[in-house]
Amino acid sequence: MQNRFEFIPLFREFIKSFAYTAQGLRCIAFYDDQRQQWCRKFEAITATLEANEDLVEPIVYQLFEQEIFALNNRDNNSANLSYIQINHLGKAILKFISRCNNHPQQLLEACCDFYTQNYCPAFPMELLTPILNALQPNYFISINSKTLQVINDFADTAYSQKLIHYPVVNIIGHNLIQQLIQEMHKPGVPALHDNDLFDMFCHWLVTIKQYNLAEPEILPIGDELSFTSATESIQDYTATQWTQETGLYPEILNKWAKVIERKKQVIFYGSPGTGKTFISEKVAHYIISSGDGFMEVVQFHPAYSYEDFIQGIRPQTEDGVLTYPLVPGRFLEFCQKAEACQGLCVLIIDEINRANLAQVFGELMYLLEYRDKKIRLAGNREQFSIPKNVRIIGTMNTADRSIALVDHALRRRFAFIELRPNYQVLRRYHEKHKTDFPIEKLIQELARLNRAIADKHYELGISFFLTENLDKHIADIWQMEIEPYLEEYFFDQPDKVEEFRWQRIESKIMS
């Protein structure tokens, strides 16, 4: 993987050294011409089909000319496709392109359907994605060997040219473009579509500069790959999976998803070990499934600042000169990526109450409540608003800081979902994994301990004990994780601590 800090400087070098050379200007003209040619070809094919004429001539020969026959000679051991096979392939191609053109959000399903057709699994994305890009440039990146090489290298992935990989490659490519978006829109940069400018940059990087890109171990086009592993982040996440992984019923998931959709931002809060972060990630996975959205996690801490989260001045060296540009923080970067997606995008803020929230959020306090408004950020003349597809999930450990201490203005902007120790989840976990651990006795002691604590903000959660080898680790967990916590909480009640030492608890649980 290349150093990601080189990505933006390389783009600046590309603009400065190549964009307005004679060769660069020819490239710029090429993109408009190519888009017009593809659109004309597709319109001609559509008109031909409306006249009920044969599919082979317009699709294979007009759209791809002789390129399609290169598939036969990739290994130099295949015979030419028959007329019937080409006709079948032509129908599948037209169906795929039409579906993506009319419903761009169905790209994943369209690729899956195309992949399962006869004669289609080996079809490379470099033949079809230029058409998608010409018809819907805001949604689809044109992928060729150069763009794929750059995407794989700077994103540390290893996807092949198989069309089945395109939904993931398209998302990764859009995310890389978002890293360059400010540079792309600066004065003096060619007025190309962002996707075209990225493609031109990749061409320069590989062909002109001959940058030292790694050669990833990509499987050949003809080899089978597991599509599940390639698209895990954007597949469906069902209520059944939710129940299997969390032990909670689907009704709870649906209820929480509705709250998030209504309020747009929520906080899961509770005592240590109640599974706040785990639950948040699973809920986010459910929200973004079946779409092209994504989720990211950021953890707050006492030193976290407005500059880290929204934007701030950061010293940088460019051509030996120290500069202080205004750099977007994690939230602005997240919003820029979300704007390239149609589906919901979720930002999880772990330990949200450990930072000075009023200071970190700044103008975001206003925008969280008025999602349809825009406001100027400090140090920036541009208007900013939170994209409509952005959702925020926070987690709050009430043992660190009570919810009552959170700024009231901020509390009004979030919905709060409380998580308490759920013994039924613990019970179902050990039943599912057939651990044979005496879980009922453990639950009795946990319930007794939490009654002694007598404060829901400091109750002991169940996540300490969600392990299949609990019988081997229970002593270490109790002595090294539970007892130190109790010593701190009962610092002025040593008798309470002694009552729940492992030496006393062991006989009650393990006997």
pLDDT in tens, 67-113: 444 444 444 333 455 556 666 777 778 888 888 888 887 888 888 77
CB-CB neighbours of 207 under 10 Å:
11
Distance, in Å, from the CA atom of 456 to the CA atom of 451, rounded to the nearest integer, reads 9
Phi, psi at 418, each rounded to 5°:
-85, 135
Print pLDDT tens along the chain (511 aa). Answer: 445 568 888 999 999 999 889 888 888 888 877 878 777 777 777 776 666 655 555 555 555 554 444 444 444 333 455 556 666 777 778 888 888 888 887 888 888 778 777 656 667 788 888 888 888 888 899 998 899 999 888 887 888 888 888 888 888 888 889 888 888 988 888 888 888 999 999 999 998 988 877 654 443 333 333 333 333 344 578 887 888 788 788 889 999 999 999 999 999 999 988 989 999 999 999 999 877 888 899 999 889 999 999 988 877 776 677 877 788 889 988 888 888 788 899 999 999 988 888 889 988 989 998 999 999 888 777 789 999 999 999 999 887 655 555 667 777 889 999 999 989 889 888 988 889 999 999 999 999 999 999 999 899 999 999 998 999 999 999 999 999 999 999 999 999 999 999 999 999 998 7
CB-CB neighbours of 146 under 10 Å:
19
Residue-level pLDDT at 270: 92
Distance, in Å, from the CA atom of 402 to the CA atom of 261, rounded to the nearest integer, reads 26
Cβ pair 312, 305 in contact under 8 A: yes
Give 348's strand partners. Answer: 297, 393
Residue-level pLDDT at 69: 47
Cβ pair 180, 7 in contact under 8 A: yes
Distance, in Å, from the CA atom of 175 to the CA atom of 180, rounded to the nearest integer, reads 9
With tokens 């994943």, the residue in question is: 108
Residue-level pLDDT at 438: 93
With tokens 């007329």, the residue in question is: 83
CB-CB neighbours of 297 under 10 Å:
15
With tokens 């993506």, the residue in question is: 100
Give 415's strand partners. Answer: 266
Burial class of residue 414 in the structure, from the number of CB atoms within 10 Å of its CB (0-12 exposed, 13-18 middle, 19+ buried): buried
Helix axes of 22-50 and 83-102: crossing angle, nearest 10 degrees: 110
Distance, in Å, from the CA atom of 65 to the CA atom of 495, rounded to the nearest integer, reads 86
